[in-house]
Structure 1
Amino acid sequence: MRGDIHLTKFLTQMKHVFFWKRMLKRTYLSKEERTAPGFKAAKDHMTLLLGGNASGELKFKPLVVYHSQTPRAMKGYSKAHLPVVWRANKKGWVTRTVFQEWFISYFKPAVEQYYHSKNLENKTLLILDNAPGHPPNLEDFVDNVEVIFLPPNTTCLIQPMDQGVIATFKAYHLRRTFSEMIKFLNGDAERTPREFWHDYHIMKAIDNLAEACKEVKPRTMKLAWREIHPELFADMLTVEQPLQNAHQDIAELAHHAGFSEVNEADIVELLQSHEEDLSNEDLMEMEQQRAHDGKDDELGNEEPQRFLTAKDLSEAFDLLDKAMAIFTEKDPQRERSSEANRIIMSGYKCYRELYEQKKKRVQQQTLDSFLKVPANQGIHSPKLV
């Protein structure tokens, strides 16, 4: 299989422990948490599975494995429609069962769809690190996939995802987190970073990590394969510096948020801390927290339902129309406001379509009611839902 395989068909995946609510150590937010009693949110983590192909054109949805099936902030959301592939088990680990299920239900169809869109033969070379969570018999579950396991203790040296991709992803996630903080602070002069961080929950972290994954450029993905297949990248002489640029951006955002003491060394320290092992005391605290979360999961309380009604959509459209009207009336650069409004309208087109579907449904319900109700009785129009 390897002799004629195309660059787009080299694929890899790598798991990584990710502490989703960890702040720069020299900020007062981190200092306050370290001195507070009880479980530390900075130690709460998930396991991520990140990957894509050697051309950088295909990036998989991140697989997230957490220790709670339905954290409080996620109640009412459809897990099948999250921007990540969501799984849960007691330890929050990528076990063989989790990986095998992901491999069959997500990896296989995603790769086949990509090949179909590129008019390519369905033939894949999948490179994995030699981790306990990777089943040795993956090739038994799908055709046209050859799996190569890297030699033990070589992951940090040659595994493509460990050659700058994961480091860049983590930096982009932290940058997005600080960008969200600045946006929050700019909304009201009375707001503080402490308020933002207090309300920063796992659903927001998932949104940020999904967007951070999308931000990783194809070139960054492609350059990561140099150690495994250097001859394919001989023409790529210019080395990017996405990490250094991201670190500088984070430092500037942190200063803007009021953390003037932060420097780039603090940022590097935080990003590298994701690779540290937890102490026995940390693991005991995590186990207690998992037990508490497990009780919440087992209570069987019905999740709050989230409905997007036609009334909600109509109100949102009105607000968007008002915003676009301000751009049109106040911006002296007509071309700029027109382009911005075009992008906005294109962005929420899916909600316009949903609104029309709801209207048609109501019209059909009204017609059905008319056909069923005797002529001498009034017809009550159903509400838009």
Structure 2
Amino acid sequence: MTSGLQDFDCIKKAVASKTGKKKDRKMMAKPKNVELDQCVIKWYQQQCASGVMVHGTELKMSAERFASNIGLQGFKASEGWLYRFKLRHGLTCKKVYGESLDANEEVIDQYCKEVKDLIQREGLLLEQLYNADETGLYYRSIPENTLASEKEKSVPGRKLCKARVSLLCGANALGSHRLKPLVVGKEKQPRCLRGMMDSLSVHYDHSVKAWFNVKVFKNWIFKHAVPEIVRFQMEVMKVSREQVRALILLDNAPAHPPASELVAKHGRIRVKFLPPNTTSLIQPMDQGIIVAFKRLYRRRFLEEVMVVVDEEERNVGQLTLQNLKNYNLRSVMHNISWAWNDVSSSTLANGWNCLLHRTEPVVDFLGFEADNFHHQFVKSGENTTVDDINN
């Protein structure tokens, strides 16, 4: 009876600490060698605490090494042993995101203090503090996952479209002024954009691989960003031309020239670089702003190419593929502009929380509320209500 209570307590403790793979586990199989199991899990925890990534191969090697050290004869760390070990301790394979382990918290705190002191010393307003960041956009990429019957072992697919452009987004710390996005493609004058370059809702530039380089970036700073900042401060903030000031925070990308080469308006508009390996933690555009933009762009893109209801009863799948084929850079420019303008001002402002206030950002995914999904369901012929979606 006592042994049963002890087992129950062990299971309850494992579930509470979420170390088990299944919360409804009724049995907990003990390892054949408890000492070896404890050595391996302690080694694993030490590696993780040091920021070292551990794979299954390393776990098996460490187990065999520990087995040799404690005199355990005939032990072999097989795939079956690894499976049971991971099951006992609730270990799963996960993808590693970001570069936060390379960041130095002391450097971040010092940089944030420098920015605050600079704002106070020069009397800068939040409207005069900007951040801009580059990102890649696979603008014709359709979802890789799909719904399928449980009876189907696999789902046939098509070659993924890797058409890509580079994109630069920027805005001020109050979220009241968003700079017009810059799109970088491969062609100097795409055929679908001929005669429209001056009337585009975004800026367009080109490079051999559709990547940012020093020439493209400097052209954006002096021909687009600075004039837009001056115009906003004079027309909206009612500041005289001589009093226009701005500080643009940038990361240390190879395409960015030295700060001394990015000074305009007699030093009143200049840039300050972020410390290395800190963009994932404090760069405002990386705190959910670009993610929100890409989700909005993807929703707009799918709405445009995916055919849900065809009144003439033609092949819906073929129509979708034809729409995808006809989706060109002109459509990309329009949807980029739409998505960027639909990123809420609160999301733009909250992206600065980590840098200015050392608090977590709050992302408002505008366009993903229940009403929006209800509209899409009704459009596709589904009879549902907003309450159904909320529930």
TM over 0.5: yes
> What one-letter code is carried by the residue in structure 1 that aligns with 2:144?
K
For 1:224 and 1:96, the matched residues in 2 are separated by: 26
Counterparts of 1:181-192 in structure 2 under 5 Å? 181=305, 185=309, 189-190=313-314, 191=316, 192=319
Distance 1:171 1:113 in 2: 30
Structure-2 residue corresponding to 1:82:
200
Relative to 1, partners in 2 of residues 1:22 and 1:256: Cα closer, same or farther, differing over 3 Å? farther
Cα contact 1:193–1:257 (8 A) shared by 2: no
Contact preservation (8 Å) 1:62, 1:210:
yes
1:125 aligns with 2:244: no
> Does structure 1 residue 167 correspond to structure 2 residue 291?
yes
User: Which runs of 5 or more residues in structure 1 are unaligned?
Assistant: 35-39, 259-385
Q: Kindly provide the CA deviation profile for residues 319-365 of structure 1, in whole angstroms up to 9, marking residues without a partner as x.
A: xxxxxxxxxxxxxxxxxxxxxxxxxxxxxxxxxxxxxxxxxxxxxxx
2:325 to 198, 221, 245: 198
Question: Which letter does structure 1 place at the counterpart of 2:192?
Answer: A
Distance 1:17 1:23 in 2: 15
Between structures 1 and 2, the one with greater helix share:
1
1:157 partnered with 2:281: yes
2:361 is the alignment partner of 1:242: no
1: distance between equivalents of 2:312 and 2:219?
45
CA contact (8 A) 2:129 2:173 kept: yes
Alignment-mate amino acid for residue 165 of structure 1:
I
Deviation of residue 193 (structure 1)? 1.9
Q: CA deviation at 1:106?
A: 0.7
Aligned mates of 2:265, 2:230 — CA distance in 1? 11
Matches within 5 A, 1:94-113: 94-113=212-231
Amino acid of the structure 1 residue aligned with 2:343: V
**Distance change in 2, residues 1:238/1:205 (3 Å):** closer
Instruction: Describe the shift of the 1:61–1:125 C-alpha distance in structure 2 as closer, same or farther (beyond 3 A).
Output: same
2:189 corresponding residue in structure 1: 70
Per the TM alignment, residue 140 of structure 1 is displaced from its structure 2 partner at its CA by 3.7
The reply on whether 1:148 has 2:272 as its aligned counterpart is yes
Q: CA deviation at 1:179?
A: 2.3
Cα distance in 1 between the residues matched to 2:223 and 2:364: 36
1:111-154 superposed Cα distances (whole Å, 9 cap, x missing partner): 00000011133111110011111111234444302311001111
Distance in structure 1 (CA, Å) of the matches to 2:285 and 2:163: 23
Runs of 4+ with deviation above 6 angstroms: 254-258
1:230 aligns with 2:357: yes
* More RCO (CA 8 Å, sep 6+): 1
1:197 is matched by which residue type in structure 2? L
Structure 2 counterparts to residues 192-341 of structure 1, below 5 A: 192-230=319-357, 239-242=362-365, 245=368, 253=376
Length, aligned pairs only = 246
Deviation at 1:189, TM superposition (A): 4.3
Cα deviations by residue, 1:180-235 (Å, 9 ceiling, x for unpaired):
2367856754353222222222211221111100101111100000011118xx8x
Structure-2 residue corresponding to 1:304: none
Residue aligning to 2:158? 33
Aligned counterpart in structure 1 of residue 261 of structure 2, from 126, 138, 145: 138
Task: Work out whether residues 13 and 50 of structure 1, in 8 Å CA contact, stay in contact via their aligned partners in 2.
Answer: yes
Aligned mates of 2:370, 2:157 — CA distance in 1: 24
2 CA distance for matches of 1:24 and 1:256?
Answer: 20
1:228 & 1:132 partners in 2: Cα distance? 22
- Aligned partners of 1:92, 1:248: CA distance in 2, in Å? 37
Task: Write the letter of the residue equivalent to 1:194.
Answer: L
What is the DSSP-based 3-state SS (H/G/I as helix, E as strand, rest coil) of the residue aligned with 1:245? coil
Give structure 2 stretches of 5+ with no counterpart: 1-117, 148-154, 382-391
Tell me the equivalent position of 2:47. Answer: none
TM-score (norm: length of structure 1): 0.57
Going from structure 1 to structure 2, the CA distance change for 1:180 and 1:115 (only over 3 Å counts) comes to same
CA distance in 2, matches of 1:14, 1:251: 34
Q: Letter of the aligned partner of 1:133 in structure 2?
A: A
State, as a whole percentage, how many aligned pairs show the same letter. 26
Q: 1:10 touches 1:126 (CA, 8 Å); kept in 2?
A: yes
- Secondary structure in structure 1 of the residue aligned to 2:133: strand
1:238/1:132 CA distance change after superposition, 3 Å: closer
Once the two structures are superposed, what CA deviation does each residue of 1:24-78 show, in whole Å capped at 9, x if it has no partner?
01249x96432xxxxx5x212111010010111111111011111233433x332
Larger of the two Rg values belongs to structure: 2
Deviations 1:65-108 (A, max 9, x none): 1111233433x332122111000111111111111111111111
Provide the TM-score with structure 2 as the length reference: 0.56
CA distance in 1, matches of 2:162, 2:374: 23
Structure 2: how far apart are the matches of 1:206 and 1:31? 31
1:104 and 1:142 in contact (8 A); partners too: no
